[in-house]
Amino acid sequence: MDAAPAAGEVHDGKRERFDLGVLVGDLALDEDVASDEEESLEGLRQELDDCKDDEEVANILANGIKLRDYTKGVENNIRQIELDSIQDYIGESENLVSLHDQIRDCDNILSQMETVLTGFQTEIGSISSEIKVLQEKSMDMGLKLKNRKAAESKLSKFVEDIIVPPRMIDIIVDGEVNDEYMKTLETLSRKIKFIEVDAMVKSSKALKDVQPEVERLRQKAVSKIFEFVIQKFYALRKPKTNIQILQQSILLKYKYTIVFLKEHAKEIYAEVRAAYIDTMNKVLSAHFRAYIQALEKLQLDIATSTDLLGVETRSTGFLFSIGKEPLKSRSSVFALGERINVLKEIDQPALIPHIAEAKSQKYPYEVLFRSLQKLLIDTATSEYLFSDDFFGEESLFNDIFAGPIQVVDEHFNAVLLNCYDAIGIMLMIRIIHQHQLIMFKRRIPCLDSYLDKVNLSLWPRFKMVFDLHLNSLRNANVKTLWEDDVHPHYVMRRYAEFTASLVHLNVEYGDGQLDLNLERLRMAVEELLVKLAKMFPKQKLQTVFLINNYDLTISILKEAGTEGGKAQVHFEEVLKSNIAVYVNFDMSRENSERPIEQIFMQEELLLEHFSDLIKFVKARPSEDTASSSDKASVSDVEPLVKDFASRWKAAIELMHKDVITSFSNFLCGMEILKAALTQLLLYYTRLTECVKKINGGSALNKDLVSISSILYEIKKYSRTF
């Protein structure tokens, strides 16, 4: 059975035939086994179905060959192949013997090579041992070299730090103070620190030889540095020296000299520090004193102790001072005007006095104040930064600037003591506030206390001057102030300009205390204005006077470019009420219930020309409610109708001229005239209605003026403005 596959391969050339033959050979297809009842016919069918695609099985089944006969044929073929193989082996016997000899020779050669390689292996093992020994020696030598290098490095550094090269001695002793000297000075400083700090150095023998030389070099360096620095400090005292340029371009270049003195000669450093403080204190004090003297020549006096709101014009000396000072400066006592520009130019450079003096220019004190304070904060900023950089001490600034600040304070206190310019003081308060913001943005705190002190000095002075104005209104002599003129009073103009100025300066700050003071001032001036109005003999003139002054005040507050604050709102309400007094708009029941005298008094403008008409209309009850005895007759209204028809245009023209001359504000006057004419139209309409309801009143129709004619006249005057 083992030879069956081989026979199948030789005969058919296909391995599948051997496998299928074995498979088929196991099938029970013979007649002898067909009778086996235990065989499953279903399993046979399955196997046949699986092998039906095999060609060999298909041929056997197709030809009807029995399996036993087929097996015998296969065995015969295998025997024949075996016999053929034996013959082939006998034929190749010589070649096999030759192959055997060759294999034996190769085996001998390989044995010799094995012997040689074994010898090589032994020699390599010996070399490896020698390499390990050399490696250990190399590592030992490397460690020794590393230790020697470390020792050499430390020794070299020690020698380098402790020895004093001849070149260093030459530079320190004979060299000029320059960049090379600074580098040598740093080297000397390191050597001094090395000797003083390192404990091992103090125990070395080399120190005994080197230390005296190092000490002599230190003393020589300190001496030379002291002379050099003091010489540079004295250069600051020369006239017309630009201190900032000298500090930044020269002194800062040699700031290590100060570091050296601070570390190795503290007593000498203290002397140098004191010399600088003394020098800068005197130099800056002299500069500020000279600058203040130059500024004083440019000062334009604005206000004196008599320049108050409630003081009579003649007593202030305005008429006699025009020749000494420009009229423009006198108008700035109460009006802000162009003085506000000083806040817009807050960060501009300080004034140069000799240039301004050459141009014959004069300035209000707040301009000079801004210039002086600007110079002060710029100089202080520069000095503060230099002191911190050069000396490393911020506290040095206070000692340096004690003198300059004292000079500025003395000048400022003297000026403030005689300052009666409330607007100027308020401008200075705002200038100080802006300078505080500038210093805050620069992050320079050195002038915080000074600026706070100046601010605290200005507010009490402002309050004192403001109270002078307030008391001048409260204590004003009405008789001396009163003028027989209904046009705006100069006191009211002063008040309006003064209030507008302060309100404008308070817009961005919202100072509640200032608002309260302005409210007190408004109440005082309004009380004075009412007293002045009562000096006029006629109620009409009183009302016109009040309207003109209120209107002026509102106009000035609006022209100031601000909302005018509470004062403007108040005066607008008062103006409306006084216009209502001058021309009564309301013909309602409320007016009819008021005393006839008061109503007539409120309508003076119309009463002057149409008194009979107004009295008749107001005295007549409504026709619907009137009794037969109260109704008017033709004889009652005929004179009124004819009188009105004969002169109503002339009367309106006279009213127009009266308004033009009475009211300083043309627009306001025209509005009042328009309102009066409208009121006249209402009265005349009432009259015409009354005429129409009278028996026989139709006879007067020819004398009645048409309403359209009156409206035309009203529109004509309305077009004039």
Q: Is the pLDDT of residue 394 over 70?
A: yes
Residue with tokens 């005082």: 524
Task: List the single range of 81-85, 203-207, 371-375, 491-495 with lowest mean pLDDT.
Answer: 203-207
Parse the chain into domains and list their residue ranges: 57-152, 166-264, 289-311+330-475, 611-622+630-718
Strand partners for 363: 299
Considering only residues 10 and 685, tell me which one the structure prediction assigns the higher pLDDT. Answer: 685
Q: Is the pLDDT of residue 247 over 80?
A: yes
Q: What is the DSSP string of 263-309?
A: HH-HHHHHHHHHHHHHHHHHHHHHHHHHHHHHHHTTB-----TT--T
Main-chain dihedrals φ then ψ at residue 299, nearest 5 degrees: -75, 135
Residue 541 to residues 83, 500, 537, 580, Cα–Cα distance (Å):
167, 27, 8, 15
Alpha-carbon torsion 323, 327, 331, 337, what sign?
negative
H or E, element range at 122: helix 93-162
Residue with tokens 């230790």: 147
Residue 20: strand, helix, or coil: helix
pLDDT for the residue numbered 592:
39
Beta carbons within 8 Å of 666's beta carbon, 6+ residues apart: 660, 721
Strand partners for 299: 363
Cα distance between residue 320 and residue 370, in whole Å: 31
C-alpha atoms less than 13 angstroms from C-alpha of 61 in its C-beta half-sphere = 16
pLDDT for the residue numbered 504:
87
Beta carbons within 8 Å of 596's beta carbon, 6+ residues apart: 615, 618, 619
Confidence of residue 571 (pLDDT cuts 50, 70, 90): confident
Confidence of residue 204 (pLDDT cuts 50, 70, 90): low
Residue with tokens 């504000």: 665
Q: Is 150 exposed, middle or buried (0-12, 13-18, 19+ CB in 10 A)?
A: exposed
pLDDT for the residue numbered 403:
93
Over range 345-354, report the average pLDDT.
Answer: 90
Angle at 490 between CA 484 and CA 493, to 5 degrees: 135
Residue 299: strand, helix, or coil: strand
373 neighbors 382 (Cβ within 8 angstroms): no
Q: Is the pLDDT of residue 539 over 90?
A: no
pLDDT digits (tens, 9 = 90+) for 305-332: 888 888 887 655 443 333 334 444 456 6
Over range 90-109, report the average pLDDT.
Answer: 86
Cα distance between residue 37 and residue 572, in whole Å: 137
Q: What percent of the chain has pLDDT over 90?
A: 21
575 neighbors 696 (Cβ within 8 angstroms): no
421 neighbors 502 (Cβ within 8 angstroms): no
469 neighbors 517 (Cβ within 8 angstroms): no
Q: Using DSSP, how many helices (H) and how many strands (E) does the chain show?
A: 33, 0
Structure tokens at 387: 């002191």
Q: Is the pLDDT of residue 401 over 50?
A: yes
Q: Is 408 exposed, middle or buried (0-12, 13-18, 19+ CB in 10 A)?
A: buried
pLDDT digits (tens, 9 = 90+) for 144-175: 888 888 777 766 666 666 677 788 888 888 88
pLDDT digits (tens, 9 = 90+) for 423-471: 999 999 999 999 999 999 999 999 999 999 999 999 999 999 999 999 9
Cα distance between residue 426 and residue 502, in whole Å: 8
pLDDT digits (tens, 9 = 90+) for 36-54: 444 456 666 677 677 767 7
Structure tokens at 268: 């000498």
Q: Is the pLDDT of residue 358 over 80?
A: yes
Listed residue (275, 283, 235) closest to 258, CA to CA: 275
- 39-75 burial code (b ≥16 CB/10 A, e <16): eeeeeeeeeeeebeebebbeebeeeeeebeeeeeebe
Q: Is the pLDDT of residue 61 over 50?
A: yes
Cα distance between residue 696 and residue 687, in whole Å: 15
646 neighbors 634 (Cβ within 8 angstroms): no
Q: Is 256 exposed, middle or buried (0-12, 13-18, 19+ CB in 10 A)?
A: middle
Q: Is the pLDDT of residue 348 over 70?
A: yes
Q: What is the DSSP string of 426-469?
A: HHHHHHHHHHHHHHHHHT--TTHHHHHHHHHHHHHHHHHHHHHH
Q: Is the pLDDT of residue 205 over 80?
A: no
Cα distance between residue 179 and residue 207, in whole Å: 29
Over range 174-200, report the average pLDDT.
Answer: 81
Over range 360-377, report the average pLDDT.
Answer: 93
pLDDT digits (tens, 9 = 90+) for 502-535: 888 888 887 888 889 988 998 998 899 889 888 8
Beta carbons within 8 Å of 387's beta carbon, 6+ residues apart: 393, 394, 396, 397, 400
Cα distance between residue 614 and residue 608, in whole Å: 10
pLDDT digits (tens, 9 = 90+) for 587-644: 333 343 333 333 333 356 677 777 777 788 877 765 444 444 456 777 778 888 888 8
Confidence of residue 140 (pLDDT cuts 50, 70, 90): confident
Q: What percent of the chain has pLDDT over 70?
A: 78
Cα distance between residue 547 and residue 488, in whole Å: 9
Confidence of residue 9 (pLDDT cuts 50, 70, 90): very low
